[in-house]
Structures are given as C-alpha cells and as structure tokens.
Structure 1
C-alpha cells in the first residue's frame, strides 16, 4: 500500500469537511480530504442549495400569479418542471466545481473513495494509507427510512428523488413536517399539487416556537394544503399509478390516495464502515458522541457536523470545522454554541429562529418578557405585498438578555442574523432599543418587537 503523511486528514467534503480542510491549510497544516461521492456533500449537491433553487422558481411562479395585485398583466402562465429541475442541478454543479477550485487553491490534497479508520490517526482509502496527526470525521447523515415507508424512487420519494421527480404529482403526501418536509410541501403546492402533510407530533414544525408554528400552519392551509397533526402513516399500498396511504389520527383511521409520497422523517448519521467500533468510539442513535470541541474521546480523532449530532445544519458544521482545524493547529478557539445557531425553513412563508422558544425559556426557569410585531404594521412589508407574518422576541425580564427570537414571513431567513449577532454579543434589550434601524425596511419590525416587550412599540 502507498502511504502518505498529513497533519490533518478530513473524511467527508461536505460543508463541515471542506471548510475544515481549507481552514487547516490556511493555518499552515498539510491537509488531505477524502470524499466518496461529491465535493460539497449533501448540502451543496442534494440539500440546501438545490432545494433553494427549486423554491426560488416556485416563489417567482407564485408572484407571477399575483401580477394583478401589483398593477401588472401576466398571461399564459405555466412552468416546465424539467427546466426547473435542470436549473437546480446546474447550480449544484457550479458550486460543486467551486469547492474543488477552493480546495486546489488552498493546496488541499483530494482523495476520492471510501475511507475507513485503521487506527485513530490512520485512514485507508482503497490501496492508499493516509497517516495523520489528527483525523476529522465529517461523513454527514442521510435520510431515515421507516419500515414500510422506504423510498423506492418511483412513487415513494426521499429528498433526492423529490429534487429530480420522475413526474409532477397532482396529489402529494408529505410524511414529516420538519424543514425538509415543509419546504418540499411548499414547492409542490406552489406548482399546483394537492398537498397533504402528516406529522406525528401534535403540531407541525415541532422544533419551532408553538405560536410561530401555528401562524405558519394557518398560511399553509390558506394556500390549500391539508395538515394532519398527531397522525401516523401506518402503511403504504404502492400501485403502478398511485399510492394509497393508511393514516391513523388518534384512532381515527383513513386512507389517502396520492400520486407520490415524500418521506421526510429525519436523518441518521453515516457511521457505518468507518471502523468506529474497533476504536471504541462512542455512538448513540447513529451519531458520534463528542465534547463541546468535537473531540471523540479518542486522542487525535474528531467528529463534526451532522455526524456529531444536532442541530443538523450546514452552518453549524462549517463553524465546527473551523474550530477543529484551529484546535489541531494549536489554537484555543471558543466552542460552537448550539443555542445561538439560527434555524431557517424556506417555505412560504419563511420561518426562522434562534435561541429558546417561549416554552423552553419558561421551562428553564426564566421570568420572561415577550414582544411581538406583525408584518401588517410595517410599511415595507405592505409595499412588497407580503403583509402576513410576525416577529417574536423573548427576553429575561430581570437581566434584559435576549433569550430567543422567532419569525415567520417574507425574508425572515435573512433578518434572523441580526438577532444571531445580538446573542453572540450578549446584547440586552437596551442595546437593541438604542439601535437605529433603517427605514423603510422589514428589519424595523425587529426593533418594534423589542420595544413591544417593554410596552413601548410605536407602530402597532
């Protein structure tokens, strides 16, 4: 076997792995990254980026249908699903090539193939042995398959199939209402499919603040979706031209006939075939257990991103990659704080949040103050024709600390970063009140929500 020696070997070139590799190279380390399929990983090739491209097409189509509201005329509206998908795939390909360029620019060695550990600092890829000062596992995760609900690519789809659908469904069932499920529900609903969402929990978007999730649900129903909460899909009868789903909602059983089913019931970590068991690496529920600095407990072995647990977000993986590279290079970086990482769902309307929900803030023992501001009170939102939405902020009543922020409405996935920075800087309500927000912007609602928590809102 041919052997090479590196300061750091990264297994997986997704948003955690390739970022870790680049940061390590910037710090003067000799770095190798191993990838079995696509540079950029699931996020860039089959997740975050291509889904946003699809959703942008759906958003534009939705706006075209509303042309009359803006004094415009649009006739003969329609869409070509193949071209919509082709645009999405083209964007993914462009960014995939961009990652390759960045790795090459930074002098990172790229090895394509399946990796396994032959010791905490020894990686085997085919007939190559990569000796390393440290190894970073960034193998990510994949869609969870439930017994009887497994995707087949024909009538029952995973997120990959939904990105390249074999046909446009007239009737669609989405199992699961987390970010992936709701985003695909929004996309296909906007293109005219009759969409039913089934969620086993008592409400959709279960990770979000309950008030925000309830607001979003009203909008989804208004758009024509059927939402079944506290319900379970117990069986799928797969036929040549349809799927008949058996649904149990608190003992009330029914059957739903659809053209396609999207299964979006969570993810499992890619832990198989790495040799973790032989090294004694602790794995719980398919995810590697680490400390706050992503150390596995095995000297010289780290795990980052989806492989290392929640939140399952690309930006969390990237920052963990930077942190671990700096550790390996001899630095003393701050650990990534999960409760200050924003979550974004690009449905229509968008949902975004950071920090504690109202329920979690109360459960943690905080005496809280809550501020709210509706989009209907904001001039820019009305001018955009996007007056449905809300900003909600949660503060510690004693210290004024910003505990959480939750939004639903147009462009909130861009707005949330303001509150993320606020939490990172340990901002209080006074800091936010004294900040001058530009007018006319959607961001003014962030200011008004803070003011409202102390009974000082001006415009509502």
Structure 2
C-alpha cells in the first residue's frame, strides 16, 4: 500500500531537517528521506569536524603565546590521534541527536536513496511514496578536479583527509575560500608546510575585498604560501610524494607535496530523477519553487555559492511554509557569510564593490582592531570592522568583520540589516566595553564623520 504525506523532503541535512520540522509544526504529515548520514554534509563532513580543528588552532596559538600572559613553561604538542578520535565522537553524538530530534518532532524518517518518480511521487529504494508537495534538499557532492594526474592516490577531498587522521608534512590546498584557509591555518599550526593555489578572485572571494587582503597578509606572515591565478598543469608520483607542475601567473613552477586537497562541491543531482518531472536543474524563484508546481528546492542542491548550512536551514523553513500555502520570499542579502579563520571573518549584506555596482552612492567607515582594547587583549590587532552605507539616506548596506569572535557578533549586524537599520541607528547603539562588538558603533560613526574613539 502506498504511503501518503503532505510533504516529502529528500535529504536529511540542515535544509531538509528544518523543512521537515517546520512542516510538522504547521500541521502537515511529513516524511524525511536520507540515504546515509542523518545531519548531512555539514554535521558529518564539514562544519562540526572542521570547526573542531579551528578551535584546536586557537588553543595552539594561546599556548604558544602564553609566555606573554605569565606562563613561561607552556608548550603546545598536538596528539593528532586524540584530536581525530574526539572528532569522531562529536560527529557521532550530533548525528544521534539529529535522529532523536526528528523523531521527537513527529517527522517520519525514511532511510534509503530517494528519487523523484513522477508528479507527486518519490521512490525510496523499491518503495513508492506519494505527497502533495516535495522539497528537494539533496545537498552537494565533491567535485573532483580534472587536471592530468588528478586520479592519483593522494589527491583527496577534506572528507578523506578527516578519515586519514594524520597531518601531511606538505600540503597543496586548491582554493582560497573559507574551508581552504581554515584547513591551511590548522595544518600550518601543526607544523605542516602549506600552499594555497588560489584562483583569480583571491582569498575569501565572497567577502569584502579589504577583508581578503588583510587575511592574506596574516597568512603570509605565518609562512603559508599563497599563489594567485594558480592552476595545476600536471601531477605525477615522485620520490614518495606528488610532484605538481603549477601555472602561476602564466609561469610554471615545480613543487613536491604529500597531499593535494580539493574542496569544490557541486549540487548532488545525479540519480534524483529530475527528468521524470521535466526538470533539468533545480533553479528556483524567490519563494524557492522550481519550474514544476509542487516541487521546491533548498540548500546546497540549489547551487548558491558559498554553500552554508545556516542559509540552507533558513531556506528549508521558508520552503515548508510556502509548500503549505504561504508566499514568503527568501532574502539572501541577510544571510551572514562566515569563515572560522584566525582571526575570524564574517560578513553580511553588500560589499563595497557590490554596493557601487548596484548604483548606490556609497559611504564606508572602519574601525581598526589596532585601537580595540579587546583585540589587544586577544593579541589580534590586525583586523577591522567595516560598514558600508548609502550616503544620502544613511541606509546600512553591509557589515564586514575580521576580528576575534567575528562569527558571533555578525548576527547583530544581520538583524540590523534585516530590520532596515541606518548608519545612525548603529552609530547610536550602546554596546558593551571592552568588546569587539563596540567597534560596530565606532565604524558607523566613522562613516558619519563623527568617530569618537578612532584617531
């Protein structure tokens, strides 16, 4: 007998779980299909394990600078096996927690490979389910590079690195995005030699240009090699490692590595059965509906870069509401971008370049971490808080942070933009001292030409 649901969600990651729970909250019968790992890519192979490593990086830095704080005998010696064991324990704990949450929220879990099987029909392995609405939250898969030699052992993605459980002595990381920098800084702190092969747009390409430039300087000061406009010409086995011929600004260089790590991903559309309903991709309108009535798409499967689990969750909630009769638009402009680098980077709204390209008469203001008491206490004075606004009406367009705790304070900035706050609103906000967050007000005052604590 065919089982019927109001909504079937394909994919048990952040987007799918949020969509399923929200659907049940609104009175719907919801089935949630997951082929393998409850919690999705973020929990099992990205956010949780990689942020454990960035936390380890910060602890390593704290120990190495402890002498300045009165601890002359502190020493940092990392036991990788203990760290990777803790990673497995945390992933297992949160995966079990996700399964428990799904059941507690009265979502029906369906284990297996889900695919579309015609209008209002989802096949899971050999069983057919019917639903009034289908939300596709299938996530993304690794996109293996295609340069000569990319098939060699030692060319791995970050999931495979996590499984290996060891620190390579020499690593080439392809890319300059958040994951690339986070991983590069961690391996560097563990004593490994690290090179970032960065494409045209540089470090943290989805952030304000000033943030990327400042972080690049920090990386170089820690002996991480960065090559812009860099690609791999070829890769061969050599002397127990991988010899890479790199094209760096149209000049070729040879380097030897133990691991080449790639981080690109692509929407996981293979085997979804899109053709059974007349879809060739998962492009959506602002309400997250696909071209086919009754089918919505959310999260990484939609292909909006950078992939972020908090964006995916927000999309899942809105898709469920719209599937049950609402008409809510998803606003990508209020989604924060974060990088758990050292120092952390966080951004929301328009960058300075984006605002100018959109036709705004732009005004900016910045507060350097060099004048922040908390940044000095944290020994991280090379960052900045920057605001972007519209000159005439003082609309707050964007906030960009490179500083300790940036990923924590960006939430307030996101709410300010969502509530259509002005530079004046932010400038007159009363923020605690001494904190990094008080630099939000300082930067806004600077944009309005009445900075108080900026020389």
TM range, smaller chain = over 0.9
Cα shift readout 1:307-331 (whole Å, capped 9, x = no counterpart): 1121421111111111111122233
Distance 1:133 1:153 in 2: 46
Counterpart for residue 450 of structure 1: 444
Q: 1:425 aligns with which of 410, 419, 426?
A: 419
Residues 293-332 of structure 1 mapped to structure 2, 5 A cutoff: 293-311=287-305, 312-332=307-327
How far is the alpha carbon of 1:154 from its aligned partner? 4.5
Residues 178/375 of structure 1: CA separation in 2 closer, same or farther (3 Å cut): same
Q: Is the 8 A contact 1:40 1:96 kept in 2?
A: yes
Return 359-368 or 143-152, whichever deviates more. Answer: 143-152
Matches of 1:448 and 1:294, distance apart in 2:
38
Match 1:267 to one of 261, 265, 268? 265
- Note if 1:399 corresponds to 2:393: yes
What are the residue-to-residue correspondences of 1:98-177 with 2, within 5 Å?
98-148=97-147, 154-177=153-176
Answer whether contact 2:242 2:259 (CA < 8 A) is retained. yes
Whether 1:194 and 2:193 are equivalent positions in the alignment is yes
Unaligned runs of 5+ in 2: none
Contact 1:282 1:296 in 2 (8 A): no
The residue aligned with 1:368 is: 362
Pick the aligned partner of 1:410 from 404, 407, 420: 404
Q: Is the 8 A contact 1:59 1:190 kept in 2?
A: no
> Counterpart in 2 of 1:96?
95
1:459 corresponds to: 453
Q: Do structure 1's residue 347 and structure 2's residue 346 form an aligned pair?
A: no
Conserved? CA contact 1:175–1:233, under 8 Å? no
Does structure 1 retain, via aligned residues, the 8 Å contact 2:172–2:261?
Answer: yes
Q: Is the 8 A contact 2:175 2:196 kept in 1?
A: yes
- Partner SS for 1:164: helix
- What secondary structure is seen at the aligned counterpart in 2 of 1:173? strand
Q: 2:371 aligns with which of 366, 374, 377?
A: 377
**1:179/1:389 CA distance change after superposition, 3 Å:** same
Q: Distance in 1 between matches of 2:58 and 2:153?
A: 26
Shift of 1:340: 1.5
Closer/same/farther in 2, CA of residues 51 and 166 from structure 1, 3 Å limit: closer
Q: Distance in 1 between matches of 2:119 and 2:245?
A: 47
Whole-angstrom distance in 2 between the partners of 1:245 and 1:221: 21
Q: What per-residue deviation string (whole Å, max 9, x for no partner) do you get for residues 218-274 of structure 1?
A: 00001110111111112221347211111111221101111111112x221111111
Q: 1:340 to 1:76 in 2, by over 3 A?
A: closer
Query: Unaligned stretches of 5+ in structure 1?
Result: none
Offset, 1:170: 1.4
Q: Which whole-Å CA distance do the structure 2 matches of 1:399 and 1:130 have between them?
A: 53
Higher deviation after alignment, 203-212 or 237-246:
237-246
Q: CA deviation at 1:173?
A: 0.8
Does the alignment pair 1:22 with 2:31? no
What per-residue deviation string (whole Å, max 9, x for no partner) do you get for residues 318-371 of structure 1? 111111111222334x32211221100111121111111111111111111110
Equivalenced residue count is: 453
Distance (whole Å) between structure 1 residues aligned to residue 93 and residue 239 of structure 2:
36
Alignment deviations for residues 403-453 of structure 1 (CA, whole Å, 9 cap, x no partner): 111111211111111110011000001111221111111111111000111
Whether the 8 Å CA contact 2:5–2:132 is kept in 1: the answer is yes
- RMSD across aligned positions (CA): 1.6
Q: Give the SS at the match of 2:240.
A: coil
CA contact (8 A) 1:53 1:91 kept: no
C-alpha deviation, 1:211, in angstroms: 1.2
Cα distance in structure 1, aligned partners of 2:370 and 2:39: 40
